Amino acid sequence: MRSTEVTGERAQVRFPSDGDGLPVIGGPPVADADLPLPADLRGDPPFPVDVHDLPAVDADVPGAVGRVLARVLAGRVGRARATDAVFARDIAERVARFTLDGGKRTRSCFVWWGLRACGGADAASAEAALRIGAALELVQTCALVQDDVMDGARLRRGRPALHTDIAAQYAPVAPGAGGERFGEAAAILAGDLALAWAEDLVADTVLALAPDAARRVHGVWSAMRTEMVAGQYLDVQGGATSAHRGGTPPAHRTARALRAACLKSALYSVERPLALGAALAGADGATTRALTTAGRYAGLAFQLRDDLQDVFADPRRTGKPSGGDIRSGKPTYLVALARARAEASGDRRALAVLRRSLGRADLSGAQLARVREVLVGTGARDVVEARIERLAAQALRHLSTAVLDPVAEPHLRRLLCAAAGVPAGRGGTRAEPGPGRAGPAPLTVPAPGAGR
């Protein structure tokens, strides 16, 4: 085998080639465990999770999922290196590092405790749950990386967002707007790669399942992917058109905001992971419905809490600047509610602040502070807080209707409360503020197939 030279202005790159000068790409298939991660990605050497020792996994579900991810990503990164070294360094290794470093593994925990709560106790279903949980973490990587591009966010988890990091790497040879555009394009491809790896992992896992479990898991996974993309689209579509919705009825705006939150987060983050766990356990229809309904309520509370934190939380805790949703013009339920209450009370000043601030990428800290004053002054913040607690209480009530494993049920209960951001067992205790402020109709949780 000889080498083919590719000559540029700055360097010569030599690719292995066959006798006809064609580059040689890839190689024979190899097992995941045979391809170690580079030293800076490796940490502790990956080792198999003992799925026969369920109490050990119960004690540290995120750790178990992390170990599965490390083994899987070792193989994927190795295969990427066999494909192209630059691609592996710039994209594949970043996807692996992002997925392994950070995140609470919330979605994979819901898969695990959905399985365990429904009585799943055999090694095969436990392994499948951990592998599907790992796939969900890769889907989350795709969602976050591409979300940062859509939002123009420069930070994620206290570090440069992936598109910002790649643009900075290539700034000496691709400066300015062209380099930024390149970073965004590379990040979109990184998200695509993470999603492809997730699909591979689920496909491999489903092959080992019994036919009924495989059918159920495939159906839930397929629905989840479409719902997540639909929710994200409603999010960006709402941001792009929010400035031209002055004549839209307030009830319609709040309903659309809830629908986007339900599709983008409630189903993807809580309900569908629980359904995946229930499917792996072979749960009956009544049990699955109780779990997934509880998951939808808790998942919507999760998104409403995230909306509050985007505006009010300390950036040192969230790892990203405050007010990203305001600057990108996202019509969150919090903002839609504030606007509806300001219109109902005739608060022109509050409406003017919202009109001037939403969608302004250059919004200053002082201007964001005035938006916070509106969100508090209209009562929108307190209404959302109260409804989060009500949603959490409804989630727990639905959970209590199912006959679940007595050891796993308390874990699932605490996980639902943690997702909603309320103390375990609390919910529905706060009254909504009302004097002088007319609010929208009582909150309902939209069904995925409900009309618009």
**Domain holding 303: CATH number?**
1.10.600.10
Structurally, how many domains does the chain consist of?
Answer: 2
Asked if 296 contacts 271 with a C-beta cutoff of 8 angstroms, the reply is yes
User: Which tokens is 431 given?
Assistant: 């009254």
Relative to beta strand 12-17, strand 2-7 is antiparallel
Alpha-carbon gap, residue 421 to 312, rounded angstroms? 14
Q: What is the pLDDT of residue 444?
A: 43
Asked if 378 contacts 350 with a C-beta cutoff of 8 angstroms, the reply is yes
Asked if 311 contacts 322 with a C-beta cutoff of 8 angstroms, the reply is yes
19 domain-assigned: no
Domain shared by 152 and 285, yes or no: no
Q: At which residue do the structure tokens 């290794």 appear?
A: 93
Residues with Cβ within 8 Å of 30's Cβ and at least 6 positions away in sequence, in order, are 75, 78, 79
Alpha-carbon gap, residue 169 to 174, rounded angstroms? 9
324 domain-assigned: yes
Q: What is the pLDDT of residue 312?
A: 93
The residue segments making up the domain with residue 354 are 211-452
388 domain-assigned: yes
374 domain-assigned: yes
Task: Mark which of 208, 223, 244 sits at the end of a domain.
Answer: 208
2 domain-assigned: no
Sign of the alpha-carbon dihedral angle for 35, 195, 261, 396: negative
Domain shared by 248 and 187, yes or no: no
Task: Mark which of 156, 183, 208 sits at the end of a domain.
Answer: 208
Q: At which residue do the structure tokens 């749950």 appear?
A: 129
Domain shared by 298 and 372, yes or no: yes
Domain shared by 107 and 220, yes or no: no
Domain shared by 259 and 148, yes or no: no
Domain shared by 399 and 328, yes or no: yes
Domain shared by 275 and 189, yes or no: no
Domain shared by 266 and 174, yes or no: no
Domain shared by 217 and 199, yes or no: no
Domain shared by 194 and 231, yes or no: no
Question: DSSP secondary structure string, 310-362?
Answer: HHHS-HHHHSS-TTHHHHTT---HHHHHHHHHHHHHT-HHHHHHHHHHTT-TT
Task: Mark which of 208, 226, 248 sits at the end of a domain.
Answer: 208
Q: At which residue do the structure tokens 């630059």 appear?
A: 86
pLDDT tens across the length of the chain (452 residues): 444 333 333 334 444 555 555 655 555 554 554 444 444 444 444 445 898 999 999 999 999 999 999 999 999 999 999 999 999 999 999 999 999 987 889 999 999 999 999 999 999 999 999 999 999 999 999 999 998 898 888 878 878 989 999 999 999 998 888 889 999 999 999 999 999 999 999 999 999 999 999 999 999 999 999 999 998 898 888 878 776 655 677 888 888 889 988 988 889 999 999 999 999 999 999 999 999 999 999 999 999 999 999 999 888 787 778 888 898 888 899 999 999 999 999 999 999 999 999 988 889 999 999 999 999 999 999 999 999 999 999 999 999 999 999 999 999 999 999 999 898 755 444 444 443 343 333 344 444 333 33
pTM recorded for the entire structure: 0.84
- Taking alpha carbons only, the member of 267, 141, 274 closest to residue 216 is 274
Relative to beta strand 12-17, strand 155-156 is unpaired
Domain shared by 250 and 148, yes or no: no
